[in-house]
Amino acid sequence: MSRQYPPGCPFGTHRSLEPAGSLPQPAWRLDNRPDPYDNEILVDVETLNIDAASFKQMESACGGDAAAVAALILDTVARRGKMHNPVTGSGGVLTGRVLDVGPRHPDHGRTSAGQKIATLVSLSLTPLWLDEIRSVNLETDQVEVSGRAIVFASGIYAVLPTDLPELLALAVLDVAGAPAQTARLVRPGDTVLVIGAGGKSGLLCMYEARRRAGVTGKVLGLAHSDASRLRAEDSGFADVVLQGDATRPLEILALVERSTAGALADVTINCVNVPGTEMASIMATRDGGTIYFFSMATSFTAAALGAEGIGRDVNMMVGNGYARGHAEIALNCLRESDKLRRVFEERFG
Amino acid sequence: MSRQYPPGCPFGTHRSLEPAGSLPQPAWRLDNRPDPYDNEILVDVETLNIDAASFKQMESACGGDAAAVAALILDTVARRGKMHNPVTGSGGVLTGRVLDVGPRHPDHGRTSAGQKIATLVSLSLTPLWLDEIRSVNLETDQVEVSGRAIVFASGIYAVLPTDLPELLALAVLDVAGAPAQTARLVRPGDTVLVIGAGGKSGLLCMYEARRRAGVTGKVLGLAHSDASRLRAEDSGFADVVLQGDATRPLEILALVERSTAGALADVTINCVNVPGTEMASIMATRDGGTIYFFSMATSFTAAALGAEGIGRDVNMMVGNGYARGHAEIALNCLRESDKLRRVFEERFG
């Protein structure tokens, strides 16, 4: 018996109720009925990985009571049709198993019922129907649920690999855009500076930069804390690991000048989620070079006016969390490199 | 009798008094003594073109009294050594005549005493010494002064052309980065969308895009108001002028789809100083295309999360007001195009 699928918009505007027809992220309320349109994926949801800012706000509003957090989540989803925290505006991601792939979804025939996936778009735009909340883990910000969710045709997701532990895969998928963009930017022979070298995305970027820059290139990692510096050093991906505070541009400039005989970086990749690191990124990069800002703490005006203020003719790019094939690229880094996998397992597994 | 010049830092850190040795923009107070270091240009200042936000704040704080604004400017410069509005954080630019070019300034021998220049870096980092304020023009935000200023080795400025009226040249120099960056981005055959097509930078970008895209390319201009649309149409630089509200992404997408047979833009240049136009820019640009954000109202996170939210694999660039040769490129646009010059004269001359 064949179901009738109504036709959907690739961006999911057909699910927006308030205001009707708007994009689902800015919409106040979505239609969360678990009946898929012709270009949607229906997911049997297992776990919500709530965004850290959102979880912290709810935990604090509930005085640290897990049951009260569960009630708050149910209330938000009942009112908005999505787990879009009205205070922080943020969401998170989810994992679950595919129940159905609409005939007009671009992955129809490739992704199939039973596969376990993780969404890589925010819960703030994902229609979600909750039957019950099984548990709220205050340590990991994870919520075990029974429910169903919708992934739009334009919504990115990854089929979880069967050869890697799920937590490890999720840790990598969370920053999957970083190595994919690094692979595009770095050319053989380049000098690459990775700021925030000891973090998840920093380590992945250094690994990819090392491979792309090759033996004639040079990878510099900048870390702040001792622990972060040790992780960057242990990885072996950097020719030089520098230690310093990226909010102090003149000090960073001096370090990078010394390590490059004054030539500065051809490509700088900023992976440090700390405000005020734009100027160090600009000063460390040569005229004509490129800076990729992955940090969500980046200020657009600080970057634009900073470069103009010192007359530095650099290309500055807004980090795009999505690049075609990014999930596969990022997971493959872990498969290829035992070192990377070990560092990730120790720290994030 | 030869002067002794002390050695200066190219970024001007030798002028920072509080905190000592910091970059001059974030510094609270600069050393504004009009004795140049070996890599500085000393300028006989004629006019301060105060930034609109700063001027408005001062005018309002002074109840619209020009004499009180003058006193406030003198007070700020006396306290900070620069016209860096402590409330708005913004500055402006200045014009004046070169008095001296230090022997280690990169333009020593090229720029010479007596030439009239405009600074293109902010007054918020320019050491300024004021002898007197001659007049404050509440209409134009211009302040006629007698005083001296310092341009650092890394500070950008333009020698004012003798063949163009000064006000016209200043209007163009204010947005000089826009056509220079457009020239780099646009390839023959490209479909280019300019958002904010009827404004100063929008018109310059359309002119440059028209030339670079060539006869096989296509230039789309998007304007909001009727007046702006008419200016864009009158220019003749666009193949199609669209009218719409760039804060409404789905409407803009529909317009651009219709004008490009669904192919969308290869390059989108956002010149509209209005918040909330990131999503329209992203949706109007094809997978693999490039968006250049000149608007200072751009939100870094709205751009980054917006592209990820709809899985659009686009390059997004932070507008850099500086590009090598940008002043010459921008002024030349006015010399080459009578149409452009006429539109600028009518509106900004």
User: Which DSSP symbol is given to A164?
Assistant: S
CB pair distance less than 8 Å for A23 and B249: yes
Peptide bond into A6 cis (omega under 30): no
Question: Is residue A41 within 8 Å of residue A101, measured between CB atoms?
Answer: yes
Residue A218 scores a pLDDT above 70: yes
- At CA A186, angle to CA A180 and CA A192, rounded to 5? 110
- Burial string for A32-50 (b: 16+ CB within 10 Å, else e) reads bebebbbbbbbbbbbbbbb
Backbone angles phi, psi at A195, to 5 degrees: -95, 125
User: Which DSSP symbol is given to B108?
Assistant: B
Question: Is residue B190 within 8 Å of residue B214, measured between CB atoms?
Answer: no
Beta bridge partners of B318: B293
CA distance B69 to B182: 38
State how beta strands A142-151 and A157-159 pair.
Answer: unpaired
- B25 in contact with A, Cβ within 8 Å: yes
Low-confidence ranges of chain B (pLDDT < 50): 1
Q: pLDDT tens digits, residue range A147-173?
A: 999 999 999 999 999 999 998 999 899
Q: Which two tokens stand for residue A41?
A: 């994926």
Residue A1 scores a pLDDT above 50: no
CA distance B130 to A115: 72
- B122 in contact with A, Cβ within 8 Å: yes
Name the residue type at position A65: D
Q: A287: which chain B residues are within 8 Å (Cβ-Cβ)? A: 324
Q: A303: which chain B residues are within 8 Å (Cβ-Cβ)? A: 300, 318
- A131 in contact with B, Cβ within 8 Å: no
Q: Which of residues 256-295 of A touch B (CB under 8 A)?
A: 279, 283, 287, 293
- B308 in contact with A, Cβ within 8 Å: yes
CA distance B131 to B148: 8
> Which residue, among B173, B300, B315, B316, would best test binding to A if mutated, counting the most A CBs under 10 Å from its CB?
B300
Q: pLDDT tens digits, residue range A166-195?
A: 989 998 998 899 999 999 999 999 999 999
- Provide the CA B279 distance to its chain's centre, in angstroms: 23
Q: Which two tokens stand for residue A157?
A: 């997701």
- B20 in contact with A, Cβ within 8 Å: no
Q: A283: which chain B residues are within 8 Å (Cβ-Cβ)? A: 11
Question: Is residue B135 within 8 Å of residue B143, measured between CB atoms?
Answer: yes
CB pair distance less than 8 Å for A317 and B321: no
Q: pLDDT tens digits, residue range B71-128?
A: 999 999 999 999 999 999 999 999 999 999 999 999 999 999 999 999 999 999 999 9
**Among candidates B82, B97, B101, which has minimal Cα distance to B36?**
B101
pTM over 0.90: yes
Q: pLDDT tens digits, residue range A269-299?
A: 999 988 999 999 999 999 999 999 998 889 9
- At CA A17, angle to CA A55 and CA A91, rounded to 5? 15
Question: Is residue A307 within 8 Å of residue B305, measured between CB atoms?
Answer: no
Question: Is residue A156 within 8 Å of residue B308, measured between CB atoms?
Answer: yes
State how beta strands B41-50 and B142-151 pair.
Answer: antiparallel
User: Which DSSP symbol is given to A6?
Assistant: P
Q: B321: which chain A residues are within 8 Å (Cβ-Cβ)? A: 304-305, 307-308
CA distance B159 to B141: 22
Residue A3 scores a pLDDT above 90: no
Locate the chain A residue with the closest alpha carbon to B304: A320
Of the candidates A301, A310, A324, the beta carbon closest to that of B313 is on A324
Residue A18: its H or E element:
strand A16-18
Q: Is the dihedral of CA B269, B273, B274, B278 positive or negative?
A: positive
**pLDDT value, residue B3:** 67
Of the candidates B121, B300, B319, the beta carbon closest to that of A298 is on B300
Helical packing angle, B326-336 and B200-213, nearest 10°: 80
- B91 in contact with A, Cβ within 8 Å: no
**Among candidates A229, A218, A224, A221, which has minimal Cα distance to A248?**
A224
The residue whose two tokens read 């770095």 is: A186
Residue A109 scores a pLDDT above 50: yes
Peptide bond into A19 cis (omega under 30): yes
Question: Is residue A232 within 8 Å of residue A203, measured between CB atoms?
Answer: yes
Distance from CA of B162 to the nearest CA of A (A): 24
Q: Which of residues 201-260 of A touch B (CB under 8 A)?
A: 249-250
Mean pLDDT of A254-266: 98
Q: Nearest 10 degrees: CA dihedral of B188, B190, B191, B192?
A: -80
CB pair distance less than 8 Å for B13 and A250: yes
Task: Please report the ipTM that was assigned to this predicted complex.
Answer: 0.92
Residue A106 scores a pLDDT above 60: yes
**Among candidates A183, A187, A122, which has minimal Cα distance to A152?**
A122
Distance from CA of A67 to the nearest CA of B (A): 31
- Burial string for B75-94 (b: 16+ CB within 10 Å, else e) reads ebbeebbbbbbeebebbbbb
Q: Is B98 helix (H, G, I), strand (E, B) or coil?
A: strand
CB pair distance less than 8 Å for B125 and A21: no
Separate counts of helices (H) and strands (E) for chain B: 11, 14
Cβ-based contacts under 8 A for chains A and B: 123
Q: B16: which chain A residues are within 8 Å (Cβ-Cβ)? A: none
